[in-house]
Amino acid sequence: MFKKAGLILSVLSVSCLMATPVYIADTYFGQNPVVGNGSGISNDNAGATYEVNQDYIGAGFNITGMNVDYTGSSLKVEIYSDYFKNSVFQPEYSGYGIEMGDLFISTDGLNTSTVSNYMINDHYGIGEDWEYALMLDNSAGSSGNLYWYAFNGSSNNTGAPVILSHVPTNNMFIYRNNQEVQVDDAAAGLLAGTWVRNNAGSLAFNVTNTTPLADASELGFHWAPTCANDVIEGNVKVPEPATILLLGFGLVLVGIGSRKKR
C-alpha cells in the first residue's frame, strides 16, 4: 500500500510541476491612440489629455495582468481588469457598444524582433503572426462556450477574418487603433471549452480541448476589448516532454529511496 501511495504522490508531483501557473504583468502599450474619426489625439471630450505611449486609456479599462496555467491536457488563461466588473462592463457595453475580445494565441511564442520598441510600437500586421484564436460565443455576456479558430496561413494576411479595434461609427471616443480584437467568423469551429466573466474583475478562458496546442514550443497571447483601450500580450514556455519525463523519473526515484530508508 505504501509503495502505491508513493508512486501516486510522485505522479501527482509531476502533474503539479507541469501545472504551475505563470503570471504575466501588463507591460504592452501598442500603437498610439486616436479619436473615433481616425485623427490623431490630443484630448478627449472632457478635456483630459492622453499622452502617447500610455498603457491604458481610461482607468476602467486598465488590465493589470494575466495568469496562464497550461498542463498539456488543459489550459486556463485568466485576465484581470476592472473592465470585467458589472459596474464598468454594463455601462461600457450598453452605452458605447464596446465588447470583450477573443484571445489570440501563438504556438511559437512572440515575434518581437520585427518591431522596434515592440511593446510600444506594435500593431496588427507588423508584429506576431497568430496561429489560433479562442472565440467567445457571446462577447457581451457573462459565460458561455469557447471555440477554436485556426488561421489558414497568416493572421496578418489581408484576407484573414480579423476585426481590428474600433468604436461605433461617428463616435468621438478615444481608442487604440489597429489592434486585432476579434475573429470575424460566424461558423462555430472546434469546441475548446468554456469562458466566464467574473464580477470580481476577471475573464477566464477554460480550455479542455488542447489538441491544437500539441506541438507548441512556447505559447504567446494577445487580448483586448474591442476598443483596445488597454491590450495585454505575453508568452510562456512549454516544458519539453523529455524534461518532464526526467523530472518525473527523478521524483519516482526519490519516492522509492525514501521508502527504503523506512
pTM for the full predicted model: 0.81
Please report whether residue 256 resides in a domain.
no
Residue 91 to residue 107: CA distance in whole angstroms: 35
**Domain count for the chain:** 1
Residue 47 has pLDDT above 50, yes or no: no
Please report whether residue 262 resides in a domain.
no
Express each pLDDT in 185-203 by its tens digit. 766 689 999 999 999 999 9
Pick from 19-28, 73-82, 165-174, 181-190: least confident: 165-174
The three cell numbers locating residue 59: 482607468
pLDDT given at position 100:
96
Please report whether residue 14 resides in a domain.
no
Residue 254 has pLDDT above 50, yes or no: no
Strands 132-136 and 175-176: unpaired
Please report whether residue 259 resides in a domain.
no
3-state SS, one letter per residue, for 164-223:
ECCCCCCCCCCEECCCEEEECCCCCCEEEEEEEEECCCEEEEEECCCHHHCCCCEEEEEE
pLDDT band at 157 (very low <50, low <70, confident <90, very high): low
pLDDT given at position 261:
52
Residue 250 has pLDDT above 50, yes or no: no
Express each pLDDT in 99-111 by its tens digit. 999 999 999 988 8
pLDDT given at position 11:
39
pLDDT given at position 50:
56
pLDDT given at position 34:
75
Proportion of the chain above pLDDT 70, given as a percent: 71
pLDDT band at 57 (very low <50, low <70, confident <90, very high): confident
pLDDT band at 184 (very low <50, low <70, confident <90, very high): confident
pLDDT given at position 37:
56
**Domain ranges, residue 199:** 21-240
Express each pLDDT in 200-210 by its tens digit. 999 999 999 99
Mean pLDDT of 173-190: 83
Mean pLDDT, rounded, of the chain? 79
Please report whether residue 249 resides in a domain.
no
pLDDT given at position 171:
64
Please report whether residue 3 resides in a domain.
no
Residue 211 has pLDDT above 50, yes or no: yes
Highest mean pLDDT among 66-70, 113-117, 212-216 belongs to: 66-70
Mean pLDDT of 207-214: 96
Mean pLDDT of 29-58: 63
Please report whether residue 254 resides in a domain.
no
CB of 148 within 8 A of CB of 212? yes
Please report whether residue 6 resides in a domain.
no
